Each structure stands twice: as C-alpha cells, then as structure tokens.
Homo-oligomer: A and B are copies of this chain.
Amino acid sequence: MFLGKNFVVTFHLQPSSEIDEAWKRITGQTDLREKGQLYAAYLVMDKLVDQYFPAVYQLEDQLSESESARKSIQALMDDIFEIRAKLLKLRKTILPMRDLLYRILNSERIEGVKEHLAYFTDIYDHLLKLSEMIESNREMTADMRDSYISINSNRMNAIMKTLTVITTIFMPLTFIAGIYGMNFEYMPELKWNWGYFTVLGVMFSIGFGMYVWFRRKGWFD
C-alpha cells in the first residue's frame, strides 16, 4: 500500500500510547481479515485525527480565559501571540493531512477505497471541521488584537486631548505671569493701582475663552 510513505512524511507524530492501543485493538480483532487493511488504516487515522480536537478546544478555552481574566494589555497580547503561534503549528499539521485525505477520497487507484468511502469521508469531515475551527480561532485572535489597537488609539486620543488642553490653557497664562515677573526698571503697568487685578482678569478671560473654544470643538465629549 503506497500510503505508507505519505504517513511518515506528513503526520510527524511521535509514537503515542493511543496509536499503540489502536494497533492492539486492530491486531486483536479476529475479523480483521475480512475488513481488510483499509479498515485498519481508518482506525489508526481516526485515532490520530481525534487527538487534535482536545488540543484545539484547549486553545479555545485558553483564549476565552485570557479575554475574561482582565490582564494587562501587554500580557493579553503575549497570550494572543502564543495562541496564534500554536494554532499555526496545528494548521501546519492538519492542512497537509486534509489534502492527503482528499486525494485518498478521490483516488481511483487505491483499491477498496470505494467500499470504505464512508469511513474516510468521516475522517475528512473531522479534518475540515478542525481546519475551520483553527481558522476561526485565528481570526478571533486577530479581531481581539485589532480591537485592542483601535481602542488603544482611541485612548491615546483622549490622553493627548487632556495634555493639549492643559498645555494650551496654561502656557499662555504662565507666559503672561512671566512678563510681569521681569525686572525692568520702567514697566508702567507695575505701578498701576489695579494692575494686578486687571492682569488676573485678563488671565481668567484667556483661560475661559480657551475652555469654551475646546468645548465647541467637541474635545470634552
């Protein structure tokens, strides 16, 4: 059976106790001769493929845990990056398997496939389901990342508005205070009786005018 080589090339799985178990069950079966090699191949492949479901479900759980755990954003980004990397590894294993199964299903050369088509279609369905789950989870993580980036860019705007409002209001005022802190001998305003209160009034007007201007521009929404 020419499938042998492809298995070695494509699956890259360590000899696991699960496969051993499947093997035992196969060799222990008395009616194996009747069901033939392909049924044995089906049993092994079914075990192999079913092993990936818990892995994907675990990553899904890890993802929803990370999301609800109210971690710092950097920790969340690290989690997302890690989960994406694991999903990528899974995909690298599952996509070639899926393509292999597809070719087995459509092959006219492997004798006996026609008779066991329902079995292999079953495995193929599981692989389709797996690859769709992996793709969905990758898109979910991409959405989470993009969502945080857009929220971040929004927060940044709010922070910058605060900074700009404060700077724009207080810089001109501090400048005016600086002018009347100069030590020139001849500065007529300094001698005026109401000079101090006039300047305070001017400062208040400027500050209030800035505030109204920002409010009109909608910076405090």
Contact = CB atoms under 8 A, between A and B. Distances in A.
Contacts of A132: 92, 95-96
Given A88-B140, A153-B156, A163-B163, A184 B177 contact: no
Copies of this protein in the assembly total 5
A15 interface: no
A172 B109 CA distance: 82
Contacts of A6: 121-122, 125
B9 A125 contact: yes
Contact of A166 (B136, B155, B171): B171
B74 A154 contact: yes
Interface of A: 2, 5-6, 9-10, 72-74, 77-78, 80-81, 84-85, 88-89, 91-92, 95-96, 99-100, 103, 109, 117-118, 121-122, 125-126, 128-129, 132-133, 136, 139-140, 143-157, 159-164, 166-168, 170-175, 177-187, 189-196, 199-200, 203, 221
B153 A153 contact: yes
